[in-house]
Chain A
Amino acid sequence: MIDTDICIIGAGPVGLFAVFEAGLLKMRCHLVDALPQVGGQLSEIYPQKPIYDIPGYPSILAQELIENLMEQISPFRPGFTLAERVDSIEKDQAGKFTVLTSEKTLITAKVIVIAGGLGCFEPRKPAISGLEDFEGRGISYFIKDPELFRNKKIVLSGGGDSALDWTIFLAEVASELTLVHRGESFRGAPDSAEKVGQLASEGKIRLLLESQITSVSGNGHLQSVTVAGKTRQDFAFEADHLIPLFGLTPKLGPIASWGLALDKSAIEVRLSDYSTSVEGIYAIGDINTYPGKLKLILSGFHEAALMAQSAFKYVYPQQKLSFKYTTVNGINAF
């Protein structure tokens, strides 16, 4: 069990900056994100794109901004739970919150800050009949530990860089590896595409181009995959694991079921402090909505500052909060 002052759901730029604003008021934070890395949309969608509207930076790469934020918040030693989705939030009689993640991690906190952006990034799933029956039973969308696939019959599907890179890597690990791609060639990095072609011509992998997986079957665990091709009859072959490798896309996910007032897929907040309809829960960044809302990083930073002031008053109603510039005292690390 992790105990903290503020549990921040979402480690995008806004969730990260909230650690700083809370830290100035001596409140500790723990961040949870469904992605294995911090940075939200910036790291996942556009790490190498320059951003031009961060005050004080005529231009900064998205990934660089995230690295800077990590450095800026490091004095306040936030905790991180990554690659876990927050599934539920409970509030007890005394007003204490308990957060439960998809991997059953429990976090208790005095305040919850939802900085969930556009929602959880989730894998795109191909339309394959029977797919969901075998999720976690032979079908996975991420490769966390390649050793799980040693001496197994593996099928990868997809045509992007990650499908090519994993094909090359797992060719050495799997007993049998098949790559299924709907296109007639690969558009990814030419080196990787060439290497995959070479592995196929040496008979080290099976490459099925202009093909699509149509169904999967098994007995409790995946056993076989059926592939339809443009130029041949459908055929089935044995498989222990199928890994569809298409990108990730954000989905609102569990946030919708936390009993908060929503407007479409955004959380309604009070303009004065970005508090939600549940006392002690705040929503900042892309996930919230109010009249005039702009989904910009700089708006999220501003929201984080106001939220922190309000959260402090909520947690310590008896204490006086005197507003100070950072230039006065500097940063008092924990």
Chain B
Amino acid sequence: MIHVTVIDRQQNQKTIQIQETEDSNLMQILKEHNYEMRATCGGMALCADCHCLVLQGFDQLQAPLDQELDTLETRPDAESISRLACQLKASESLDGIRIKLTAYAC
């Protein structure tokens, strides 16, 4: 089991358990766990709706691809620990991370 701690947009923190799945990603998993998650581009790293800050475990994640880095540039509130949840595969590398969801509007 993979554990991910999520701070939602109302600042509530909860740890969810997820399973390693080949074709799923953290954006989809958050949706399945009923987190409010607009995903205009459906997970193609094009809309930045699924932007999150990785407060813990940033360095253990797979490195972002160019498309993700380009799209992160469109978020004025991006930080050095920003990622797009749709680009994080549901794999062991997520175990123990702590993320914070951010507003869509930014």
Contact = CB atoms under 8 A, between A and B. Distances in A.
B40 A246 contact: no
Interface string A36-57: 0000010001100100000000
B21 interface: no
Given A45-B41, A182-B78, A250-B40, A158 B73 contact: yes
Interface string B23-51: 00000000000000000110010111100
Interface string B45-82: 01111000000000000000010011001111110000
Contacts of B75: 124, 246
Contact of A124 (B46, B70, B106): B106
Interface of A: 41, 45-46, 49, 118, 124-127, 157-161, 182-183, 187-188, 244, 246-247, 249-251
Nearest to A117: B40
A49 B44 CA distance: 10
Contacts of A247: 48, 74
B36 to A, nearest CB: 10
B41 A46 contact: yes
A45 B74 contact: no
Given A41-B40, A187-B66, A187-B69, A249 B76 contact: no
Q: Which of B44, B73, B77, B106: most chain A CB closer than 10 A?
A: B73
Given A41-B40, A160-B73, A182-B78, 20 more contacts: A45-B41, A46-B44, A46-B46, A49-B44, A124-B75, A124-B105, A125-B76, A125-B106, A126-B76, A126-B106, A127-B76, A158-B76, A160-B70, A187-B69, A187-B70, A188-B73, A246-B74, A249-B40, A249-B48, A250-B40
